[in-house]
Amino acid sequence: MGNQKLYKGSLQTIILKLLAQNDKMYGYEITQKVKELTKGELKITEGALYPALHKLEADGLLDVEVAKVDNRLRKYYKLTENGTKETVSRLAEMEEFLRTMQTLVNPKFSLE
Amino acid sequence: MKKKIKLTKEQITYIDDYLKHHKVKYWDVRIELLDHIVSDVEDRMNKKMSFDDALIEAHKSFGNSMKMFWNSGIEYSIFANGHGYKDFLIEKRKQINRKYRKLLNEELKNFFTSINTLFLFFFLALILYFTIIFNDNKVLQITVLVGVFLYSMRVYLFPLRHWIQKKKEKSINLEFAVNYILLSMLLLNFLSLLKPEGDSSLLNLQQYHWFFLVSVLFFFVINYCGYVVYKRTYKYYSNLYNKLENI
């Protein structure tokens, strides 16, 4: 398992990206989806996931829908219009960040 | 294909009681935690874990711990603490507070950009101007101010009804939706503190009258917008609570 601290700052972007791909998701589903996509490399803890979800909701980037599922209620999160716009800009920021890190970690020297 | 294990109603109630035991007193927080824990426990039970062990694992996943301690010299006991849920609630409160501050701000913006409410604002400003600054009739002044005050107090009818109906379950959303409106009461406190008495008063009578007028206006606007936010929240969470009760 990699260093979880490195992923910490990207948690909100990961959540936004997943919701952009999956329309609506619930908390447990997000943790499982991340585990599945990263083949267990990244495990989002419950203590980190929910504060991030609630912050995105308070910022108006996520909307909530509650539905009845097997003898209980389930809270689904989905992107708002602002959330969709924010996802695009955060993903662009993330790509920029990855490019910068790539340059720093693995610089390509040129004669120019 | 083998049928997947689903928790029974009794097992779900057991987990809900376990959350109440760990002081998760708000039902609108518990629904999310309950669904997460039930999904987690079901998944683990499908991988051949027992209900009790699966619940212990779910308990630990929220940052709670299970500590063994020496129980009165007879045997070791397991003490389950709910520190993880405590942190969860602290974070939730912080975000809910932000959410309702933002909603109130948005409503204030709507108030000052809509023709109807702007008309209401200037109409009230005019009435206050003629009763407070342009008039000495105490009966008229008191009637207008009591009218504004009572109209602003409509928002508290919802918690009052809740209390009369003896509904014990608490909602974090309804608790915070009323918080910022309560702050407007501070304006009324300022009015009594700044009332000119004697020579050493901060404001003279004319300044005080203007301060009074502006404070009453803002008290009205905050309560008006707070009422809109609270009413919307109340309607949504009452429907949700009915849905929960009908499960």
Q: What is the pLDDT of residue B1?
A: 59
Mean model confidence pLDDT for chain B? 88
Distance in angstroms (rounded) separating the CA atoms of residues A61 and A84: 8
Under an 8 A CB cutoff, do A72 and B95 touch?
no
What confidence score (pLDDT) does residue A2 get?
54
pLDDT of residue A1 exceeding 60: no
Distance from CA of B120 to the nearest CA of A (A): 29
Considering only the beta carbons, identify the residue of A46, A55, A75 that sits closest to B95. A55
User: Closest to A68 (Cβ–Cβ): which among B39, B95, B243?
Assistant: B243
pTM to 2 decimals? 0.86
* Least CB–CB distance from B9: residue in A59, A71, A75: A71
pLDDT digits (tens, 9 = 90+) for B223-232: 999 999 999 9
Q: From CA B139, how far away is CA B146, in angstroms rounded?
A: 11
Contact yes or no for A45 and B61 at CB 8 A: yes
Q: Residue B201 pLDDT more than 70?
A: yes
Q: Which residue has the higher pLDDT, A105 or A89?
A: A89
Place A107 in a pLDDT band, splitting at 50, 70 and 90: confident
Nearest CA distance, B219 vs chain A (angstrom): 25
10 Å CB burial of residue A111 (0-12, 13-18, 19+) is: exposed
Among candidates B36, B84, B92 on the partner chain, residue whose Cβ is nearest the Cβ of A27: B36
What are the residues facing A64 on neighbouring strands?
A: A77
Task: State whether B35 and A69 contact (CB < 8 Å).
Answer: yes
8-47 in chain A: CB under 8 A from chain B: 26-29, 32, 45-47
Average pLDDT over residues B204-231: 90
Check A71 against B247: CB less than 8 A apart: yes
Which has the minimum average pLDDT: A46-60, B13-27, B69-83, B120-134? B69-83
Q: Which residue of B has its CA nearest to A56?
A: B95
Q: Is the pLDDT of residue B198 over 80?
A: no
Residue B108 reports pLDDT greater than 90: yes
Query: Shortest Cα distance from B7 to chain A (angstroms)?
Result: 9
Is pLDDT of A112 > 60? no
Reply yes or no on whether the pLDDT at A61 is more than 60: yes
pLDDT at position B182 over 70: yes
**To the nearest whole angstrom, how far is the Cα of A98 from the nearest Cα of chain B?**
29
Taking the C-alpha atoms of B106, B109, B114 and B115 in order, what is their torsion angle to the nearest 10 degrees?
A: 160
**pLDDT value at B150 more than 80:** yes
Q: ipTM value of the model?
A: 0.88
Nearest-by-CA chain B residue for A45? B61
Q: How far is CA B136 from CA B18, B48, B133, B207, in A?
A: 63, 82, 8, 16
Burial string for B116-136 (b: 16+ CB within 10 Å, else e) reads: ebeeebeebeeebeebbeeee
